[in-house]
Amino acid sequence: MISMKPSKILEAMPPYLFTKINALKKEAYQKKLDVIDLGMGNPDHPTPSYIVDILCDTVKHHKNTHRYPQAKGMPKFRKNVSEWMQKRFGVSLDPENEILALIGSKEGIAHLCMAYLDRGDYFLVCDPAYTVHFNGVALAGGKVYPMPLLEKNQYLPDFSKIPQKIAQKAKFMFLNYPNNPTAAVVEDNQFWREAIRFCKKNNIILISDNAYSELTFGDYTAPSVFEFPGAKEVCLEFHSFSKTYNMAGWRLGWVCGDKRLLYPLEKFKSFIDYGMPTFIQLAGAAALKGSNSYIKELSQSYEKRMLKMSDGLEKIGWRAPRTKGTMYVWASLPDFMRKEGSLSICEKLLKETGVALSPGAGFGKCGEGYARISLVTHDRRFHDALLRIAQFTKKYQR
Ligand SMILES: Cc1ncc(COP(=O)(O)O)c(C=O)c1O
């Protein structure tokens, strides 16, 4: 066997957040432990049947969809995205030039970094953040400048704390609200206006990752960044089918924005992929024409789970405020556990009780002391998960 090292960049990367947790989960299953998996944000609800039916029908009866697809997205897909953005946010996008289909937004975000970054370029990334926001930058050889998301600031970054020298060097700023992992939402639209102003002033592209735009609770509705004046000049926005339509395994999303900002990604992707299979794009196009009541019911289901988990955790000493969106609860570990670190606590919890959570530290330094709970198991399992976490907490304290 020859010996060959991977690239220095890859070698320097720590293993992906879920690699360790998945290995422990496998171990737990082998030991016949009853695992309650609240780790990965992997929706448990099935894809709605009207979408599955379109896929099956298309694959069976439209053989031309078996050929190579149109990489940037077929016209019908881009048209339906444009109509959805208009109907949902009142935002006008030219389907021909301002929408690009993606193999899920994770792929798009990682490749956007590669399309734009030169070695040593700075990116402004929230800490904690969805992992591809910082891993995408690192894989492209860029430098992450972390913007802390602190509880006392409602998990919003403070732009005034970014040194001018860094702002001048930065190419991108990533924002993601409703937020993974903190589940924070932006309630004051002034925040978006400030972000746009900051990016315009410093010649930075503002990336809005809007994967959870539809998963919001009560009266709260999430905006698109393009609803705010001047956004088109500096912003790109990512959307995903994974959470809105429970299509995580289908791998479909889109990015939209001005043609000039979008084009480098389209060009980059043209060298490495052929885009999404046409039948998946057609099913996605049909999904966007579905009824709003399905999305409302989905959000209500997450809200119910959030209330159960959040209130239950508060009762046993884990601070876990109620949220207004996403499919997560961001829980602060009790003080007596914090010293040990979130990774070790989550490992012990999984080994001893079978409950899998995501350690906050996996999302960035500022995530230390927290755990993310994904609300992705059957409703009746949450009670059991809470009981086990309560027992673990009591035993730990003794
Ligand atoms: C903030 C955020 N963006 C993007 C994604 C990935 O979405 P997709 O499945 O479309 O790649 C996720 C998945 O968890 C996410 O949390």
Predicted confidence at residue 328, as pLDDT, reads: 98
The pLDDT of 220-235, averaged and rounded, is 98
Q: Which of 287, 282, 285 lies closest to 60 in space, CA to CA?
A: 282
155: alpha, beta or left, given left = phi > 0 and alpha = psi -120 to 50? Answer: left
Q: How many whole angstroms from 194 Cα to the centroid of ligand 1?
A: 25
Does residue 209 have its Cβ closer than 6 Å to ligand 1? yes
Predicted confidence at residue 31, as pLDDT, reads: 87
- 398 or 100, which is more confident? 100
Tens digits of residue pLDDT in 368-395: 999 999 999 999 999 999 999 999 999 9
The pLDDT of 236-261, averaged and rounded, is 98
Tens digits of residue pLDDT in 256-310: 999 999 999 999 999 999 999 999 999 999 999 998 899 999 999 999 999 999 9
Determine which residue's CA is closest to atom 2 belonging to ligand 1. 211
Atom number in ligand 1 closest to CA 107 = 11
Can you read off the two tokens belonging to residue 342? 């979130």
pLDDT tier, 166 (very low <50, low <70, confident <90, very high otherwise): very high
pLDDT tier, 159 (very low <50, low <70, confident <90, very high otherwise): very high
What domains appear along the chain, each with residue ranges and CATH number?
8-33+293-397 (3.90.1150.10), 49-287 (3.40.640.10)
Predicted confidence at residue 19, as pLDDT, reads: 82
The three-class DSSP label of residue 137 is helix
**C-alpha neighbours within 13 Å on the C-beta side of residue 383:** 2
Q: How many whole angstroms from 180 Cα to the centroid of ligand 1?
A: 9
pLDDT tier, 5 (very low <50, low <70, confident <90, very high otherwise): very high
Determine which residue's CA is closest to atom 3 belonging to ligand 1. 211
Tens digits of residue pLDDT in 13-33: 887 777 878 888 888 888 888
Can you read off the two tokens belonging to residue 372? 């993310």
Does residue 128 have its Cβ closer than 6 Å to ligand 1? no
* CA–CA distance, 356 with 372 (Å, rounded to integer): 10
Neighbours of 120 (CB within 10 A): 9
The pLDDT of 56-65, averaged and rounded, is 96
Predicted confidence at residue 152, as pLDDT, reads: 96
Q: Which of 168, 151, 227, 163 lies closest to 196 in space, CA to CA?
A: 227
What are the strands of the beta sheet with 170-175, ordered from one edge? 99-102, 253-257, 235-240, 205-209, 170-175, 122-127, 143-148
* CA–CA distance, 370 with 253 (Å, rounded to integer): 29
Does residue 180 have its Cβ closer than 6 Å to ligand 1? yes
Does residue 255 have its Cβ closer than 6 Å to ligand 1? no
Q: Which helix (H) or strand (E) holds 116?
A: helix 105-116
* CA–CA distance, 207 with 109 (Å, rounded to integer): 9
The pLDDT of 359-366, averaged and rounded, is 95
The chain-wide mean pLDDT, for the chain, equals 95
Q: How many whole angstroms from 105 Cα to the centroid of ligand 1?
A: 6
Predicted confidence at residue 101, as pLDDT, reads: 98
Q: How many whole angstroms from 45 Cα to the centroid of ligand 1?
A: 16
pLDDT tier, 119 (very low <50, low <70, confident <90, very high otherwise): confident
Tens digits of residue pLDDT in 290-305: 988 999 999 999 999 9
Q: How many whole angstroms from 83 Cα to the centroid of ligand 1?
A: 22
Atom number in ligand 1 closest to CA 102 = 10
Ligand 1: residue of 106, 252, 256 to mutate (most ligand atoms within 8 A of CB) is 106
Does residue 105 have its Cβ closer than 6 Å to ligand 1? yes
pLDDT tier, 131 (very low <50, low <70, confident <90, very high otherwise): very high
Predicted confidence at residue 268, as pLDDT, reads: 96
Determine which residue's CA is closest to atom 6 belonging to ligand 1. 106
Q: How many whole angstroms from 18 Cα to the centroid of ligand 1?
A: 14
pLDDT tier, 186 (very low <50, low <70, confident <90, very high otherwise): very high
Predicted confidence at residue 16, as pLDDT, reads: 75
Predicted confidence at residue 246, as pLDDT, reads: 97
Q: How many whole angstroms from 321 Cα to the centroid of ligand 1?
A: 23
